[in-house]
A = this chain, B = another copy of it.
Amino acid sequence: MASSAEQVKELRERTGAGVMDCKAALEASKGDMQGAIEHLRKKGLADAAKKAHREAKDGVVASYIHPGSKIGVLVEVNCETDFVARTDDFQGLVKELALHIAAADPRYVRRDEVPADVLEKEKEIYRAQFADSGKPPAVVEKIVEGKLGSFYSQIVLIDQPSVRDPNVTVSQLIAQASAKTGENITVSRFARFKVGGHVE
């Protein structure tokens, strides 16, 4: 089983190990990258803690610190090229998103990031609200799904109404900037810290 040149290159970048060691490690792991990294580490040939993250996209990391320094936001917004990342249209969007996150306090970027148990708990609570309503279960489930939509628009960034213009969702703001710049734009992550607000 021969390892491809790309695999060897990636393994070298991620571990700093030599070509021959990388080839041997990939052979031992039958081409599995993670296995090869562990193999090298067990032999003491790879640097432990400093695993290089693979760069996938371009964009910027921006912050907003609310006056008084008690609330701060860090956000990563991605586009396809550094050229677009430097444009006023893109930078304007990023600035607006950081401000929006500070004000609107979303919990997740996208719906698929909301954990299943959080969703299930929400549904359970909605169902309980209609337990004595006499409505048939199918109707209640429809209402529950409708309420979930409003739950999402409270806690999911791209579903939230824009703080600046509540008639537009954040998703639409992003789409507008995307149309202007001609590139796909996504928010990959954000952090919002409030002093004393750290709850495990």
Contact = CB atoms under 8 A, between A and B. Distances in A.
B55 A196 contact: yes
Interface stretch (A3-11, A20-28, A57-65, A168-176): A57-65
Interface stretch (A68-76, A135-143, A177-185): A68-76
Contacts of A58: 195-196
Nearest to A196: B55
A194 B188 CA distance: 11
A50 B57 CA distance: 33
> Counting chain B CB atoms within 10 Å of each CB, which of A43, A125, A195, A196 scores highest?
A195
A66 B191 CA distance: 17
A42 B54 CA distance: 45
B122 A78 contact: no
Nearest to A41: B125
Given A62-B65, A198-B188, A44 B193 contact: no
Contacts of A93: none
A192 B73 CA distance: 11
A62 B69 contact: yes
A197 B53 contact: yes
Contacts of A42: 125, 128-129
A56 interface: yes
A48 interface: yes
B194 A53 contact: yes
A189 interface: yes
A48 B122 CA distance: 8
Interface of A: 38, 41-44, 48-50, 53-65, 69-76, 78, 85, 105, 107, 122, 125, 128-129, 151, 154-155, 188-189, 191, 193-199
